[in-house]
Amino acid sequence: MRIFFLLCFSLILYACPNGNAQAPSSIPDTYQLLFEHTFEEAASVSDFEMTDPSAWRIQQKEGNHSLELFGASQYKPAVRSPRNIAFIKAHQFEDFVMEVKLAQTGKEYGHRDMCLFFGMKDASNFYYVHMATKADPHAHNIFLVNDEPRVAIAEKTTDGIDWGEVGQWHSIRLERKVSEGVIRVFFDDMDTPIMTAKDTHFGAGYLGFGSFDDTGMIDNIKIWGPKVATRKYGFF
């Protein structure tokens, strides 16, 4: 019975138990597939905690399902930071490589964005990547939220990115090594990062998706790493 319980727990903890069987060659040999999500199950939205659940839904288009942020979240953060967040509520991640498909569904303007969240400790302590059309002091950067309004920490960034047509999918990759403080972000081109940073404020934390105040879609999440941290509970 004890062996059976441990086996079941392992299958739940690691959403795909196949280890590195399907991992790209760029994934370290010591990493395994810790989490995978395609949103094809009707109840898949329950795997996430949101700042405002009423702003999110499972969208179906041309036979494919995705998680859609379709409205403004009725949420006001304690410090200046994004309002629209959905994070994986079951686990916290330390070192990881995450690949995900993102699509922007809002109008074109300088701050047209989608965001990735990581190292999340609570509602006022986390990192996030802001990917926007044009870079400025408050857009298209890696940000630290540490009990005060967000601060840009990227050592390298670009002038911006092209989200393209409404609903156009893009491949995004986020890498983190906690002990070294390394953070790297890739957009469509998986060889050259669009942003890099080094910071060690936070260790293991939740991973999430969303936008500062735009709309968009998330699909095909894959997260590799050496381990996941102890399960905790949400905070919104």
Q: What is the full per-residue pLDDT of the chain (236 aa) written as tens digits?
A: 443 333 333 433 434 434 444 567 689 999 999 999 999 986 678 889 999 999 999 999 888 999 999 999 999 999 999 999 999 998 999 999 999 999 999 999 999 999 999 999 999 999 999 999 999 999 999 999 999 999 999 999 999 999 999 999 999 999 999 999 999 999 999 999 999 999 999 999 999 999 999 999 999 999 999 987 656 656 66
Which H/E stretch holds residue 2? helix 2-13
Q: Return d(Cα 154, Cα 100) in angstroms, integer.
A: 21
Q: Which residue has the tokens 């735009």?
A: 214
Q: Quick one: pLDDT at residue 77? A: 96
**pLDDT (0 to 100) of residue 148:** 97
CA distances to 49, 70, 122, 150, 235 from 77, rounded to whole Å, are 15, 19, 11, 11, 12
32 forms beta bridges with 225
Q: How far apart are CA 21 and CA 99, in angstroms?
A: 16
**What distance in Å separates the CA atoms of residue 188 and residue 173, rounded to the nearest whole number?**
8
Q: Which of 132, 133, 155, 135 is nearest to 144 (CA)?
A: 155
**What's the predicted TM-score (pTM) here?**
0.88
In 147-234, the DSSP E strands lie at: 151-152, 169-177, 182-187, 195-198, 206-211, 216-225, 228-229
Q: How far apart are CA 192 and CA 214, in angstroms?
A: 26
| Residue 64 CA from chain centroid, whole number | 20
Q: What is the pLDDT of residue 233?
A: 58
Q: Which residues pair with 211 in a beta bridge?
A: 84
Start-end of H helices in 14-141: none
| Surface-to-core class of residue 58, CB atoms within 10 Å of its CB (0-12 exposed, 13-18 middle, 19+ buried) | middle
